[in-house]
Structure 1
Amino acid sequence: MRSGKLGWGTLSTALRDTTKTTAMIIFVMIGATVFSVIFRKLGGSDMIEDAFAVHEGNPCLVLAMIMGLVFVLGFFLEWVEITLVVVPIVAPVVAGLDFGMDKDHTLTWFAIALSVNLQTSFLTPPFGYALFYLRGIAPPEVTIGTIYKGIIPFVILQVLALVSVIAFTALTLWLPNYLSN
């Protein structure tokens, strides 16, 4: 088989690998959905809402707690698991908080902030997935320690972006509002 040519063997291998990857993702999605449904049926959502209700008077503190939790989970889990397991649990809590917006705008704003938060957590050790992808393509003389040091400015920029998304809600929601009108 020559490089750059598509043959039956290459096509067969590509289809088999694609099918395996797709099946794994679908099983993760099914497992997360089953977990979320059972969690809600057993009263887990009420337990989570009650846990955050202690700080109901301070929505910024609740948001900071949720963002901190998601940031830490991003060290160890991929975005698929976080969005399929954690978001259905915390979204009703965030929707019930008073940030001076209606429920739909609050959830859109939260989704954008959550996305920036997840991207930031994927750049940070101990299991920064983006760091290991970079390590896989870097020359052998570039150590993981060098990569960890090199991402510091990018993590600072991501944290500033997250703070900006949270602080400037009107700016964050401008494009979604523009596109929905």
Structure 2
Amino acid sequence: MGEKLAMTATALLPPMGLIVVVLGSILGGLATPTEAAGCGAIGSIILCACYKNLTMEVLKEALYKTVVITAMILMILMCGTMFAGVFSATGGMAGVQALLAAWELTSWQTLAMLLFIAFIAGFMLDLISLMLIVVPIAMPIIVLQQFTDMTTGEILSRGDIKIWFSICFLIMIQTSYLTPPMAPAIFYLRGISPPEITLMHMYKGVVPFILLHGVVLAFVLYIPKMALWLPTILFRGF
């Protein structure tokens, strides 16, 4: 028993400590995200050396994957930024706003429509692409709406609406990634799972998590302060 605990502690505590240091330095204002990422990379190399897994082949593979992933992310960012700029410059935003005005949707109906669009788009697009394509269109629309906290009757400010909508948006995307038949997250997991675990097993296994996501989304929609509490605490001193 003691040996198992020692092995578990050796395997879990150093990586957890690295995560705490990286995130803690950002939240504590000690480092910018870029600086914290650099510290995390150095810490990962040190941990790899401590575990006696650091070789030139491992280092080359890590560097190669870093370059590939970074290039992919930057390409997505560039294309998403270009799309948002062209869409806005050609009057796309004004067209969407005029369409919504013609439909005469209420604030909550507008929110439901945007979240539904995010849910469907999550079947086909990754998170970064979704944020760069959908958010620049949805955010200017949603901040023009008026929402109230169902429990207090307090009208949300534009800043609160941005944070609240962002949280709801992310919950909806995560739900989309788990929802069959597309379920991108399940297909990612299927690629590393043992052969005896079938897609049907995974489809059945994600049902409780989908239901939990729905419950969380309902609470956040009904009580916006649930989404605003942590950001309020974090930025109280700014």
The letter for the 2-side match of 1:51 is L
Q: C-alpha distance in 2, partners of 1:174/1:10?
A: 42
Residue 17 of structure 1 and its aligned partner are, at CA, apart by 2.1
Q: C-alpha distance in 1, partners of 2:68/2:193?
A: 27
So what's the TM-score if we normalise by structure 2? Answer: 0.71
So what's the TM-score if we normalise by structure 1? Answer: 0.92
Residue 163 of structure 1 and its aligned partner are, at CA, apart by 1.1
Unaligned 5+ segments in structure 1 are: none
Q: Which residue of 1 aligns with 2:211?
A: 156
Q: Which segment drifts farther, 100-109 or 59-68?
A: 100-109
Contact 2:220 2:227 in 1 (8 A): yes
Contact 1:32 1:85 in 2 (8 A): yes
Alignment: residue pair count: 179
Residue 56 of structure 1 and its aligned partner are, at CA, apart by 4.9
Question: Larger C-alpha radius of gyration, 1 or 2?
Answer: 2
Sequence identity (%): 36
Q: 1:47 aligns with which of 86, 95, 114?
A: 95
> RMSD across aligned C-alpha pairs, in angstroms?
1.7
Q: C-alpha distance in 2, partners of 1:112/1:46?
A: 25
Matches within 5 A, 1:83-122: 83-99=131-147, 100-122=155-177
Residue 49 of structure 1 and its aligned partner are, at CA, apart by 1.3
| Structure of higher RCO (CA pairs closer than 8 Å, 6+ residues apart) | 1
Query: Deviations along 1:80-116, whole A, 9 cap, x unmatched?
Result: 0010111011100000001121110111110111111
Q: C-alpha distance in 2, partners of 1:148/1:42?
A: 42
Matches within 5 A, 1:23-172: 23-56=71-104, 58-99=106-147, 100-172=155-227
Contact 1:113 1:166 in 2 (8 A): yes
Q: Which residue of 1 aligns with 2:151?
A: none
Structure 1 moving runs of 4+ over 4 Å: none
The letter for the 1-side match of 2:218 is V
Unaligned 5+ segments in structure 2 are: 1-50, 148-154
Q: C-alpha distance in 2, partners of 1:157/1:7?
A: 43
